[in-house]
Amino acid sequence: MKVEGQVSFKSDLKLVVFYHGLFGERFIANLMNYSNSCPSFGACGIDLCSQCKENVYSFSKNIVATFGMLDPLTMPQFIEDAEEFLPKEIPKADLAIAINLHPDVLASLPEKLKESGIKGLIVPVEEPKWCSAGLAKQLKGKCNDLGLEFAAPKPFCILTPSDEHPTINRFIEEMGMGYPIFEIEVENKNDKEKIETVRILRSEPCGAAWFIGIKLREFEFENIRELWDRIAEAHHSFPCTGSMEKDNEYNETLLHIAGYAARHAVDEALGYEGDEDIPEHIMDVVVK
C-alpha cells in the first residue's frame, strides 16, 4: 500500500551502534530498511507485505560500525576495568547508540567516544534494567564534562529534539526516528470518520508507526475510543519492544508509555484536543 506524497528521508549522519539482544538487531534492521524486516510481516491484513517503506529510506551507508556486545546478565556484577569489554578502536562517526550494555561498560564509554571524535551518545532504555535513572544522570554529567551530547530516552520512542543536542536532533529529524509524528487525512462518511491517508513524518526507532499507519488507513470510527482501541491493537501487534516491567521512576510500564505516546501522536495529527485519558503521573513524559 503506497501512499502518494509520503515523505522520504536522507541523511549523511554517521552512526556507531553498540548492542546486545533482539531490540538492537531490530533497530539496525529498521535503520537499513531491510525488505520484509518488519516483525509484523504478513500481519497487515494482506497476503504479502505491502512494502510500505520501500524507497522511503535506507541508512545502511550511514552505519560506520556495529558492535555486538556481551550479555550483561552473564558478566560480573562489578567490572574493575570495563574498557577491556569495549573495542580497542572505535571508528570516527557523528553519533553512538548504546543498547543494553553492562552499566560499568556504559560508564566507561564516553571517554572512548571522545577519543574517536564522536559528538554524542544515545542510550535507549526499553527495559528499566538497561540504564537506571542514577546511571543516566552519571552518564549525562560525564558527557557534559567531555563536551558530548547525551540522551537516554525511556523508551526510545519518546526521544524529541532539544537545544541541548543538535547532533542527536539530526538523527531525529533527518532519519525520521524518535517520538512519532503522523499526518492524517480524514473524510466524514455516513456519520463516521474514515481515515483516507496516513503519512509518517517520524516513526518510533523500532518502526512501529509504519505498521500503525497501515492499520489506520481506511479505518472508520464513530468515536475516539474506537480509534484508540485500533491504535492499541496495532501497537501491541507490531509488537512494541517496551518492557512490561514497571519502571520505578515512572511508576508505569514502558510498554504503556510507548502506547500512550503513539496514541497521542495520532490524536495530535487529527487535531483532537479532548480528554485523552492519559494518567496524570506520566502526562509530562507522554505528551510532547
CA atoms of 140 and 149, how far apart (whole Å): 8
**Any residues with CB less than 8 A from the CB of 230 and at least 6 apart, and which?**
215, 216, 219, 221
C-alpha cell at 2: 503506497
pLDDT of amino acid 288 = 87
Burial of 7 (0-12, 13-18, 19+ CB in 10 A): middle
pLDDT of amino acid 45 = 53
Whether the link from the prior residue into 72 is cis, omega within 30° of 0, is no
What pTM, to 2 d.p., does this model score? 0.94
Max Cα–Cα distance, the chain, nearest Å: 68
CA atoms of 43 and 123, how far apart (whole Å): 30
If one counts every other C-beta atom within 10 angstroms of the C-beta of residue 52, the result is 20
Q: Report angle CA 100, 166, 263 to the nearest 5 degrees.
A: 60
What are the structural domains, with CATH classification, of the chain?
Answer: 15-174 (3.40.50), 181-286 (no CATH)
Tens of pLDDT, residue by residue, the chain (288 residues): 556 678 899 999 999 999 999 999 999 999 999 866 676 555 565 555 677 888 899 999 999 999 999 999 999 999 999 999 999 999 999 999 999 999 999 999 999 999 999 999 999 999 999 999 999 999 999 999 999 999 999 999 999 999 999 999 999 999 999 999 999 999 998 889 999 999 999 999 999 999 999 999 999 999 999 999 999 999 999 989 999 999 999 999 999 999 999 999 999 999 987 778 899 999 999 998
SS (H, E, C) the chain: CCCCCCCCCCCCCCEEEEECCHHHHHHHHHHHCCCCCCCCCCCCCCCCCCCCCCCCCCCHHHEEEEEECCCHHHCCCCCCCHHHHCCCCCCCCCEEEEECCCHHHHHHHHHHHHHCCCCEEECCCCCHHHCCHHHHHHHHHHHHHHCCEEECCCCHHHCCCCCCCHHHHHHHHHCCECCCEEEEEEEEECCEEEEEEEEEEEECCCCHHHHHHHHHCCCEECCHHHHHHHHHHHHHHCCCCCCCCEECCCCEEHHHHHHHHHHHHHHHHHCCCCCCCCCHHHHHHHCC
CB distance 178 to 131 below 8 Å: no
Given CA atoms 21, 23, 29, 31 in this order, what sign does their dihedral have?
negative
CA atoms of 27 and 246, how far apart (whole Å): 23
